[in-house]
Chain A
Amino acid sequence: MGDQPLVDFAWIMDHLDDIALRLVQHVQLTIIPVFLGFVISLFLAIWAVRQPRVYGPIVAISGILYTIPSIAAFAFLIPIFGLTLITAVIPLTTYTLLILVRNNASGFAAVPADVLEAAEGMGYTRWERMRRIELPLAVPLMVAGIRLAVVTTIGLATVAAILGDSFGGLGQFITEGLQTFFPTKIYLGAVLSVALAFLADFLIIRVERRLTPWATARAGRV
């Protein structure tokens, strides 16, 4: 790496197109898994609320999936799906499950029992109660889970670059920088993925405020 500067700004200015492309790819590598993971874990959490017995096994299985190292998981899937986006998305999705299932289930568990009884007393059906009482009240913990899942996935997605550059995202800069000993690319990928994580976190907090206007009344607490 010798004499070249750690960051070559001229190179960055010359490659803004590439940067935009990788950013879009990275957002795609994050949104698809978190969305899929959230939908799956929402169903799992609702199931666990109805049938408390299944909660333990669900968390145990998500825990096992979570322990599989990402490059190992990619390795398992390459023979089936090849070097494709599907291979990248499946492990990234399963990693979100542990976080999201726990938070979604805790969100439902955090709904006070007397609120539920009041809803029953008012003649809500199970479905109405879920939609109008439990889901909205579970939002804060669900969003906390989504925030963690998004930030984690943005980080993990950098490793997906080893699968190929047609969807590699910001990790592509890091991998190429490492292979060609060009530190500018390494730092560009690193800084942008951190910046993306912060931006995403900030945006989710804003959306949460919209979704739970009643919570704004208690704002000011850390």
Chain B
Amino acid sequence: MPDIIGWLSDPINWSGDQGIPARLIEHLQICLLAVGAATAIGLPVGLYVGHTGRHAGLAINLANIGRAVPSYALMVGILPIALTLAPTIGYDPDLGLTFLPLFLAMTLLAIPPILVATYAGLREVDRDLIEAGRGMGLTERQILGRLEVPLAVPVIIGGFRTSTLQVIATATIGAILSFGGLGRFIVDGLANRDDAMLFGGAVLVTVLALLVDGVLAVVQHVLTPRALRGKPAPRRPSDDDEDRIDPAMFGVRTADVST
């Protein structure tokens, strides 16, 4: 068994621009940027198709195509194009040549869960409620903002959690392309047969993913309207698990089956 604890507690590994804090910041930066960009795209599109029902098939199919594109293939595939275009578009090599491919690949990875969950969350809102809202004279915007979004919040954040988790885990592959981040320890450890570094890096990424997911679970709980917390489960399998209805994991099917 390699000395993971020794590696993790060695002060040398906690300083400098190749130390754990620096790699952690690189990792968090790319994840934050990618999930941010994906939210900026996926959330409005999901709200639009979820509220209007228009172009839903197209949006969901595009999202599913996004799911089918392997991140590894995508980032490696963007690299030659980025290299070719870099001088033309004035792409700053200081950012690291691999930043752009990784950022684009991670954004594309993060969009589908957010988009599909937003769509499915809105679609699951009871149609009678929306009709009642219309009858009370709410505008479409008010229906979206006051009825649909609050009721769909747990599901939307569920999609956001899935995206974030996938990006944190997958961004490690960026190290194969010479990007930094926590994956650096894994790839270098693998290449140099430095098992302590390899396992240490793996532990760091896993802990980071679990921590972030835990924080998001709390956010999800806090943002869920009180009336929806501990909502009675549809018979089975459990009463206390809010994750159970996370349509992001089902593709579009939930909306279909639950009607």
Contacts and interface: CB of A to CB of B under 8 A. Distances in A.
Interface of A: 1, 6, 45, 48-49, 52-53, 55-56, 59, 63-64, 66-73, 75-76, 79, 98-99, 102-103, 105-106, 108-110, 113, 140-141, 144-145, 147-148, 151-152, 154-156, 158-159, 162, 171, 174-175, 177-178, 181, 183, 186-187, 189-190, 193-194, 197-198, 201, 221-222
B67 A186 contact: no
A106 B250 contact: yes
B73 A106 contact: no
A52 B70 contact: no
Contacts of A221: 256
B73 A222 contact: no
A67 B244 contact: no
Main secondary structure of the interface of B (DSSP, over half): helix
Contacts of B183: 69, 71
A159 B190 CA distance: 14
A69 B236 contact: no
A105 B69 CA distance: 27
User: Interface size bucket, B side?
Assistant: 35 or more
B70 A71 contact: no
Given A1-B80, A141-B253, A190-B77, A55 B241 contact: yes
Given A55-B238, A186-B77, A194 B70 contact: yes
B213 A63 contact: yes
Main secondary structure of the interface of A (DSSP, over half): helix
Contact of B244 (A68, A105, A151, A197): A105
Interface string B52-80: 00001100000011011111111011011
A158 B67 CA distance: 14
Interface string B153-179: 000000000000100111011001100
A187 B246 CA distance: 34
Nearest to B71: A155
Nearest to A183: B80
Interface string B231-258: 0011111111101111001111110111
B70 A154 contact: yes
14 contacts: A59-B243, A68-B205, A69-B172, A75-B189, A98-B249, A145-B249, A151-B64, A159-B173, A171-B73, A174-B72, A186-B76, A190-B76, A193-B70, A222-B252
Given A69-B183, A69-B202, A222-B56, A55 B244 contact: yes
B103 interface: no
Contact of A67 (B68, B165, B241): B165
Q: Which interface residue of B73, B165, B206 has the most chain A CB atoms within 10 A?
A: B73
Contacts of A145: 249-250
B215 interface: no
Which 6 A-B residue pairs are closest in the complex by CB-CB distance? Answer: A72-B202, A190-B73, A155-B70, A144-B253, A67-B209, A197-B68
A45 B244 CA distance: 12
B177 A102 contact: no
B239 A52 contact: yes
Contacts of B240: 56
Contact of B237 (A55, A98, A186): A55
Q: Which interface residue of B56, B68, B72, B213 has the most chain A CB atoms within 10 A?
A: B72
B67 A69 contact: no
Given A63-B243, A106-B254, 4 more contacts: A69-B206, A72-B206, A106-B244, A108-B237
B79 to A, nearest CB: 8
Contact of A110 (B65, B209, B257): B257
Contacts of B205: 68-69, 72
Contact of A194 (B69, B199, B241, B254): B69
Q: Which interface residue of A106, A110, A221 has the most chain B CB atoms within 10 A?
A: A106
A148 B252 CA distance: 10
Contacts of A177: 76
B70 A158 contact: yes
A141 B177 CA distance: 37
Nearest to B57: A222
B198 interface: yes
Contacts of A6: 80-81
Nearest to B161: A63
